[in-house]
């Protein structure tokens, strides 16, 4: 460890790390709070704040300029350096398994947007929004990617907040009714596949077959769909067509969803959302404010069209 690194472990260095978090919220060419205002927020003396600012300038994280009675302005900031010095670390996001090109594109877009915003970013993959949310609440991950519909359900039940909504067709392209060829959907004893680890799919399936008391529910994951249909063990389901297109055989028809309510629910399921813990929202606020969501969708679109190799 060199002398400069050791200085960041001192009292002034600790203040510099705390100050780095605050400065992530400031854009270049904007006036900074007064030294005594920073000191009050950090709970330290004016001299400590001045030494912390000097440490950050020496590190190349920021440069400031004094403009007389107008105050001190932030002339330049390197968000990557500020983030590193802040001690916030690499953001770990939990996403669905990358079994579709859309999810690969989403992971690629998120990595590009977060890194452009100056935040190191990594992805871990978990099946089921419930499992991903549990990891978030346990502090194992910092962010969770899921559908906007699932996010809305979880926000009402857990201390989590919405960080971003990426818009329609960013999470899935579309949902549809999968029906084994020749099956009468009105026939009694219809065998319907459902994945209870997915709140989205469970709600869609239950909505699509609402009022039916003669349904035989069959638990299934997307990996099992092809075999279940091929072995004549299920007759129908509602599924994400990004997943289903490689998992169904020639004997299965894809039909559009029915009523307007179901279609509206499917639309909310198609939008990707990012949630974070409520107690971590303040630290992530600067990233939320500077995250270029259009870059996420642009990179995702490039991957979907085959113009970009997935990178995450």
Residue 47: φ, ψ to 5°: -65, -35
pLDDT, position 1: 41
CB 195, CB 218: distance < 8 Å: no
**Would you place residue 261 in the very low, low, confident or very high pLDDT band (cuts 50, 70, 90)?**
low
Which class for 30: exposed (0-12), middle (13-18), buried (19 or more C-beta within 10 A)?
A: exposed
Architecture of the CATH domain 175-268: 3-Layer(aba) Sandwich (3.40)
**Would you place residue 244 in the very low, low, confident or very high pLDDT band (cuts 50, 70, 90)?**
confident
Using alpha carbons, list the distances in angstroms from residue 81 to 17, 38, 115, 116, 271.
Answer: 11, 20, 12, 12, 32
Counted residue by residue, the chain has a size of 312
pLDDT at 280 over 90: no
Which option is the CATH number for 3-86: 3.40.50.300, 3.40.630.30, 3.40.50.450, 1.10.10.10? 1.10.10.10
pLDDT, position 260: 59
pLDDT, position 247: 67
Among residues 26, 34, 78, 88, the alpha carbon closest in space to that of 56 is found at: 78
pLDDT, position 123: 94
CB 238, CB 204: distance < 8 Å: yes
The rounded distance, in Å, linking the Cα atoms of 55 and 47 is: 12
What predicted TM-score, i.e. pTM, was given to this entire model? Answer: 0.72
Among residues 116, 31, 17, 26, the alpha carbon closest in space to that of 59 is found at: 17
Which class for 10: exposed (0-12), middle (13-18), buried (19 or more C-beta within 10 A)?
A: middle
247 vs 183, residue with greater confidence: 183
For the chain, domain boundaries: 3-86, 91-170+271-305, 175-268
265 vs 120, residue with greater confidence: 120
What is the DSSP code string of 271-299?
A: SEEEEEEGGGHHHHHHHHHH--HHHHHHH
pLDDT at 286 over 80: no
The rounded distance, in Å, linking the Cα atoms of 152 and 134 is: 16
- Whether 3-86 shares its CATH topology with 91-170+271-305 is answered no
Using alpha carbons, list the distances in angstroms from residue 22 to 15, 71, 86, 163, 309.
Answer: 11, 18, 9, 19, 36
pLDDT, position 2: 47
CB 296, CB 112: distance < 8 Å: yes
pLDDT digits (tens, 9 = 90+) for 168-198: 899 988 888 999 999 999 999 999 999 888 8
**Would you place residue 12 in the very low, low, confident or very high pLDDT band (cuts 50, 70, 90)?**
confident
The rounded distance, in Å, linking the Cα atoms of 136 and 93 is: 9
pLDDT digits (tens, 9 = 90+) for 62-95: 999 999 889 999 999 888 888 888 877 788 999 9
pLDDT at 226 over 70: yes
% of the chain surpassing 90 pLDDT: 51
Torsion, CA 45, CA 51, CA 56, CA 62, rounded to 10: 80
- In terms of average pLDDT, the best of 227-236, 254-263, 283-292 is 227-236
pLDDT at 4 over 70: no
Across 211-232, average pLDDT: 89
Residue keyed to tokens 């009292």: 11
> 91-170+271-305 has which fold?
D-Maltodextrin-Binding Protein; domain 2 (3.40.190)
pLDDT, position 54: 92
Is 179 in a helix, a strand, or coil? strand
226 vs 8, residue with greater confidence: 226
Mean pLDDT over each residue of the chain, to the nearest integer = 88
CB 160, CB 205: distance < 8 Å: no
């Amino acid at each position: 460890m060199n002398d400069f690194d050791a200085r960041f472990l001192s009292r002034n260095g600790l203040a510099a790390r705390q100050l780095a978090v605050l400065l992530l919220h400031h854009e270049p060419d904007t006036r900074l709070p007064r030294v005594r205002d920073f000191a009050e927020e950090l709970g330290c003396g004016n001299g400590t704040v001045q030494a912390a600012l000097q440490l950050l300038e020496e590190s190349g994280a920021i440069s400031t300029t004094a403009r007389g009675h107008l105050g001190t302005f932030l002339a330049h900031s390197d968000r990557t350096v500020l983030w590193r010095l802040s001690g916030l670390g690499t953001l770990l996001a939990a996403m669905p398994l990358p079994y579709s090109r859309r999810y690969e594109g989403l992971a690629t877009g998120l990595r590009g947007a977060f890194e452009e915003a100056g935040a190191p970013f990594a992805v871990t993959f978990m099946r089921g929004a419930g499992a991903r949310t549990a990891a978030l609440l346990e502090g194992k991950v910092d962010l969770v990617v899921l559908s906007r519909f699932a996010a809305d359900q979880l926000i009402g039940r857990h201390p989590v907040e919405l960080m971003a909504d990426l818009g329609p067709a960013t999470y899935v392209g579309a949902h549809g009714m999968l029906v084994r060829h020749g099956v009468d959907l009105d026939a009694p004893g219809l065998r319907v596949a459902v994945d209870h680890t997915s709140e989205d799919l469970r709600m869609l399936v239950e909505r699509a077959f609402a009022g039916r008391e003669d349904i035989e529910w069959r638990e299934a994951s997307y990996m099992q769909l092809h075999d279940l249909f091929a072995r004549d063990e299920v007759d129908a389901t509602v599924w994400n067509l990004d997943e289903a297109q490689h998992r169904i055989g020639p004997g299965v028809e894809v039909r559009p969803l029915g009523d307007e309510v179901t279609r509206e629910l499917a639309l909310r399921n198609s939008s990707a959302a990012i949630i974070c813990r409520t107690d971590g929202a303040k630290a992530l606020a600067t990233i939320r404010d500077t995250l270029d969501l259009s870059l996420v969708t642009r990179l995702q679109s490039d991957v979907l069209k085959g113009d970009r190799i997935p990178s995450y």
